Amino acid sequence: MPITNRHEQTILAPIRRVGMGDYLLWGSLLVLMLAGLGAWIWQYIEGLGITGMNRPVYWGVYITNFVFFIGLAHSGTFISAILRVAGQSWRAPLTRAAEAITLFSLPFGAGSILIDMGHPERILNLIFYGRFQSPIMWDVTAVGLYMLSSIVFFYLSLLPDIALCRDRLTDVPNWQKRMYKVLALGWKDSPEQYHRLEKVLDGMAVFMTMLVVTVHTVVSWLFGMTVQPGWHTALIGPFFLLGAILSGTAAVVIALALLRKVYHLEEVLHNGLFNSLRKLLITFILGWLYMMIAEHLTIGYASMHEEMVVLNDKFSGTYSLVFWNMTVLVFFVPLLIFIFKGKNNVGWMVFASVLINIGMWMERYIVIIPTETSPRLFHEMGGGSYLPALPEVLITIACFAGLVFLYALFTRFFPIIPIWETAESLPGHAHNAEPAPVSSTATGD
Amino acid sequence: MDIGGLVHTFFNNAGPGGVVVMLIFGTACTIYFFLTRWIVSGGRDEAAIPDEQSVSVDA
């Protein structure tokens, strides 16, 4: 019996029509990406001196972007792997949209490190002279393995749908048909294949869950293993991880709402899914606030001189505007929206999720820069100041444009909703998929 | 044999870190390759059964 999914035509519709609007979007994003590439070449030739970074501010927006994109990448693993392990079947329609964010954020996260190096070929030093004492060694290993595993996890769960495109999309160009044929690896829709696929995905979900914790903890240790004020705390690992899952889940809400609107997927991506995500987001926001208070209260109560310089800079000094705005954007406004306005209202949900992501980028910035401008060896190195220069701004815009470009491109060539995972029946009944409820008030609540 | 010294040298010299990174990636690639092959071959095994039977009948 072939795959039966009553939403198949709706899900495949975006693949059948690539319009002028798509070309315009892709073109504009490519222009932004080219501007970023130009800025990077300029930086490569002139050196990092043309950026806003200076002594002692060695890390700027590139590292902010690195932490932010890696955090964003946690969305896919959270929705797909962690909820899979927890047996949450409502997540099925969301998985691919979330995993795609992971897949397309990671290159820009890892790429930000290469950009920050000035000369990316320096990464080879890690292979030739790598030392276990170096947190960057752990970082490259964890992020690299996470990227590889995410690609495999994503590709495996996409495999039956690529085969479906190969078999059912007869009105697409020949090159596209050939692409599906090659990528489908000869998938035959046999019950045994589905059985094996489910088995491997279940196993990988457990591994990915461990990886996701490892990756962002290791990212945070890049900071935590130094003795710099504001960074040297055991809380930094869970604090970073929670922030990452919060921004990632908020990014999923934005992506899903856009997909639903642009591709008319209201029946598949119903309000019930958004309500479930809303409840998760409320939990994450409260968890993040707990971490925030625990972190700053401990430091403030101890009143160590170097720590207090950074803390005062955040609370009432140079960076107070960024700090308090960040708190309002990540905590106060989204929480009020989710509790009082967000239920069954996707527009408000998206608004709150955008605020969360802007706030989380600011949070990454506020973690990095105040410590850099007031390092522990302040009396020897002197204080510093930092303002991103033009190349950094252009490269940052290009990274975000790149993420949107890859995402938009993907949705035009592959089903963004997993057809086989949301199917009513599969060959040999190997998969017990429950059809997603269509009522706007169903599930979550 | 000074095992402690060997471990100390391993962790305190430049170089072995890179080897381990390559080893981790290499192992992961190999495992993922065979897992993918195992999943995809699920259908082929079933398709092969009738052919094998027909060959034996002919023989």
Nearest to A131 among B17, B44, B46 (CB): B17
Buried b (16+ CB within 10 A) or exposed e, A149-165: bbebbbbbbbbbbbbbb
Question: At B37, which helix (H) or strand (E)?
Answer: helix B16-58
pLDDT band with cut points at 50, 70 and 90 for residue A436: very low
Judged by DSSP in three states, A374 sits in coil
Which has more pLDDT, A437 or A218? A218
Confidence of residue A1 (pLDDT cuts 50, 70, 90): low
Using a CB-CB cut-off of 8 Å, the residues of chain B touching A185 are: 36, 40
Q: How far apart are CA A223 and CA A229, in angstroms?
A: 10
Q: Greatest CA span in chain A, whole angstroms?
A: 74
CB of A29 closer than 8 Å to CB of A400: no
Distance from CA of A277 to the nearest CA of B (A): 31
CB A398 within 8 A of CB A32: yes
A432 pLDDT above the threshold of 70: no
What is the C-alpha to C-alpha distance for residues A138 and A88, in angstroms, rounded to an integer?
32
Q: What is the pLDDT of residue B1?
A: 65
Count of domains forming chain B: 1
Q: Which domain holds residue B17?
A: 3-58
Average pLDDT of the residues of chain A: 89
Indicate whether A61 pLDDT > 70.
yes
Mean pLDDT (whole number) for A247-274 = 92
- Predicted confidence (pLDDT) at residue A445 exceeds the cutoff of 50: no
Q: Which of A316, A400, A440, A201 is nearest to B32 (CA)?
A: A201
Query: What average pLDDT score do residues A51-76 get?
Result: 90
Whether residue B42 has pLDDT greater than 90: no
Q: For A430, phi and psi rounded to 5 degrees?
A: -70, -20
Cα separation, A336 vs A352, in Å, equals 9
Rounded Cα distance, A378 and A166, in Å:
62
For residues A96-115, give the mean pLDDT. 92
pTM of the predicted model as reported, rounded to 2 decimal places = 0.88
Dihedral over alpha carbons A162, A167, A169, A171 (to 10 degrees)? 140
Hey, which CATH number is domain A8-429, 2.160.20.10, 1.20.1630.10, 2.60.120.380, 3.40.1800.10?
A: 1.20.1630.10
When mean pLDDT is compared across A24-33, A307-316, B7-16, the lowest value belongs to B7-16
Instruction: Give the torsion sign (CA, A14, A15, A19, A25).
Output: positive
pLDDT computed for residue B46 by the predictor: 56
CA angle A244, A114, A382 (to 5 degrees): 85
C-alpha triplet A343, A361, A155: angle, nearest 5°: 75
Please report residues of B whose CB lies closer than 8 A to that of A152: 32, 35-36
Q: What is the pLDDT of residues A132-171, one digit of tens each?
A: 778 888 888 888 999 999 999 999 999 999 999 999 898 8
Query: How many Å apart are CA A338 and CA A366, to the nearest integer?
Result: 25
On chain B, the residues whose CB falls within 8 A of the CB of A192 are 42-43, 45-46
A4, β-bridge pairs: A425
* Facing residue for B42 by CB, picked from A132, A145, A193: A193
Confidence of residue B15 (pLDDT cuts 50, 70, 90): low
Q: Does A185 touch chain B (CB under 8 A)?
A: yes
Q: How confident is the model at residue A428 (pLDDT cuts 50, 70, 90)?
A: low
pLDDT for A344: 84
Interface contact A147, partner B, CB < 8 A: no
- Indicate whether A433 pLDDT > 70: no
Euclidean distance between CA atoms A141 and A138, whole angstroms = 5
Using a CB–CB cut-off of 8 Å, the residues of B that contact A are 11-22, 24-25, 28-29, 32, 35-36, 38-40, 42-47
**Facing A127 at nearest CB: one of B12, B22, B45:** B22
B40:A186 CB<8 A: yes
User: 3-state DSSP helix/strand/coil percent for chain A, to nearest 5?
Assistant: 75, 0, 25
A295 pLDDT higher than 60: yes
Average pLDDT over residues A74-93: 81
